[in-house]
A and B are shown apart, each in its own frame.
Chain A
């Protein structure tokens, strides 16, 4: 079956703009998590959605927000972009969060965001 897809793969924005990233999970998966990956901070958890509800949130400012639709597709929005928001944004999907032995979190290829 198809893996996790993220669109777009690459994005260039300027400071102050806003951006929306999209993630389509594996069919049947209801949990979608978002991560930011930068050389300086590594992989950091942004938030997790399960059945259209934000279930967990990391330590990011309110400029970072997300939502999940009834078909489990998720979007992440970053408003008022800053230079430091340049990163690879990874989405991961699982049946229910990847924390039971029969469940696994699968990652998409990421969206590379560059803020100029």
Chain B
């Protein structure tokens, strides 16, 4: 059965510092992997996705993620966070017709 684990429930980062959010998955084949962001009271917005090919994926808002098959990981990174990056971030695995989401990581940005 497929599963997605986000080990960090909550991360606090200073504005301007780098950010890395962890995501581990369990899946029988090469998965389709996604990162979404959810701001308070909003739906989910897609940051980036991985289907195949280059394992370093560039997304919107300056985010990138790296797919590491050997570690079953798809970690999200941003070199320098902005106050507007405070939100909840979800990693997801997609299989035909349905997505499975991790529990989410709440990111707090301090001045």
Give A contacts to B, CB under 8 Å. Answer: 4, 31, 33, 35, 42-45, 48, 50, 55-56, 58, 90, 92, 97-101, 104-110
The verdict on B111 contacting chain A, using a C-beta distance below 8 Å, is: no
CB-CB under 8 A from B110, the residues of chain A are: none
Expressed in whole angstroms, the minimum distance between the Cβ of A108 and any Cβ of chain B is: 5
Q: Which interface class (under 10, 10 to 19, 20 to 34, 35 or more) fits B?
A: 20 to 34
Main secondary structure of the interface of B (DSSP, over half): strand
Instruction: Determine if A97 and B43 form an interchain contact, defined as CB atoms under 8 angstroms apart.
Output: no
Interface centre among A50, A90, A99, A104 (most CB of B within 10 A): A99
CB contacts between A and B, total, < 8 Å: 56
The verdict on B55 contacting chain A, using a C-beta distance below 8 Å, is: no
- Contact pick for A90, options B41, B43, B49, B103, CB 8 Å: B43
- In the bound assembly, the distance between CA atoms of A108 and B42 in angstroms comes to 8
Give B contacts to A, CB under 8 Å. Answer: 32, 36, 41-46, 49, 51-52, 90, 94-104
Instruction: Determine if B98 and A110 form an interchain contact, defined as CB atoms under 8 angstroms apart.
Output: no
The residue of chain B having its C-beta at the shortest distance from the C-beta of A3 within the complex is: B43
